[in-house]
Amino acid sequence: MKNTHLAGLLAGFVGGLFGAYVLGHLDHSSAVRLIDAGGKLRAELAMSGDGSPALFFFDSAGRNRLVLGLYSPAESEYPFVVLNDTQQHAAGIFRLFSAHETPVVVLKNQGRDRSIYGLNPNSTEPFLVNYSGDGKKSDVFGKY
C-alpha cells in the first residue's frame, strides 16, 4: 500500500513536470508559473535578462526563498543554489566556481559573507574562511 502511494505521488510529480515542459514549449512563454489553490505564486521557471534559466520558489507570503539556476553565459553557466532569508537576502549559496568548476558554499548574514568553504579554484585543495562581524578575515585551513 505504501509503495502504491509513493508510485502515485512520483507519477503525479513526473506528469506535472512533463505538463509544465509541454506548456512552456507550446505557448512559447518566457515563464512557467505554479500557482497555489489561493491564487498565490509559489514557483516560477523563468529566463533572466542575460539568458540564463532559474527556478524560483516563493513562500506563502510571496517572498522568494529558494533559487536553483545557472549563472549567465558570461559566467560560464555554472549551476547554483541560493537559500534566501525572510528579508529575501541570500543566506546560503552553493555553486561551482572557476575553470576547474570547484564547489563553494557561502554562508551569509544580512548580505555579508560570514563563512566560505570549498575547494581552492587553482589547487582544488579544501579551504575554510570565516569573517567576523566587522569583516575581518580568518583562514581556518587552506587558502582562498
Residue 45 has pLDDT above 60, yes or no: yes
- Of 1.20.1250.20, 3.40.50.620, 2.60.40.10, 3.90.930.1, the CATH number of 30-141 is 3.90.930.1
Residue 48 has pLDDT above 50, yes or no: yes
Count CB atoms within 10 A of the CB of residue 19.
11
Average pLDDT, the chain: 85
Residue 14 has pLDDT above 60, yes or no: no
pLDDT at res. 22: 47
Element (H, E) at 120: none
- 111 contacts: CB under 8 Å, gap ≥ 6: 89, 90
In the structure, how many helices (H) and strands (E) does the chain have?
1, 10
Mean pLDDT of 83-109: 96
Nearest to 41 by CA among 55, 24, 53: 55
pLDDT at res. 15: 52
Which one is predicted more confidently, 111 or 128? 128
Mean pLDDT of 48-74: 94
Name the least confident of 25-34, 45-54, 59-68. Answer: 25-34
Strands 102-109 and 31-35: unpaired
- Here the cell at position 36 is 497555489
